[in-house]
Amino acid sequence: MILETHQIRRSYQVKKIVFFILLCAAASPLALLHSEEVSRSKNFRLSQQTAAPGLTLPPAAAQVNGTVISTELLWNTLLAKAGSAVLNNLVDEALIEQAAGKKFGSKSAQAKIDKEIDAKIADLKKQFPDEKVFQEQLRSAGVRPEDLRRQIRMQIYRERLLKGKAKVSKEKVTKFFNENKQRFAAPPNEPVLTPEIQKSIESYLLQSKLEQEYAKLIKDLRDKAKIQIFLNN
């Protein structure tokens, strides 16, 4: 069922956001975006190797039968495998935040967004038995309350910047259904486009369209930005 596929995809997105928050919690400002400096995104310049300032870590990350796995080795391995991807996400976040600031930077607009964040967190808390369990889950995931608020704020920014740019017509929903009937019923049953299936298809197509529009938005923002990267792989 397309509904199950969409739910799995949504669950993956939630896990990815939590993982991203965990990484960003200890991240330092590695990228600087200045309108006065000229450096196109396609000409990223890598320079001096940087570590996270202010981050105090033990010299050994683990010990296996007397063999020490150093924190430096752990850090360098993480950096090599995920550093560029995480840094690019942080750059994208900075660009989104700047674009949103130009459109929704007024005190009244930010006050409305703050209320929306409060409402979303309140809805999230309803999924847990009580406040204590909710906070414990955040701590176990390495997510601070301010990190959660920031990620929700960024999601709101994305939604508002993309508002009206993605629409799905009934014709497209029907076409998708007709071309993928085998997904909705096993032979010999004849699939029927029920309201539930229609809603699931619409949600799936809308998400796909939003991802395309988001990619276009990021590309446009990067092309116009002056970006410098100070991190070696």
Residue pLDDT, tens place only, 164-183:
888 889 999 999 999 988 88
Q: What is the pTM of this model?
A: 0.65
Architecture of the 28-229 domain: Orthogonal Bundle (1.10)
Mean pLDDT rounded to a whole number for the chain: 78
Residue pLDDT, tens place only, 6-43:
444 444 444 444 444 443 443 333 334 433 333 333 33
Query: Which one is predicted more confidently, 85 or 109?
Result: 109
Bridge-based pairing state of the strands 67-70 and 31-33: unpaired
Per-domain boundaries in the chain: 28-229
Alpha carbons 183 and 200: distance in angstroms, whole number = 12
Please tell me whether the peptide bond between 188 and the residue prior to it is cis, using omega within 30 degrees of 0: yes
Number of Cβ within 10 Å of residue 176's Cβ equals 19
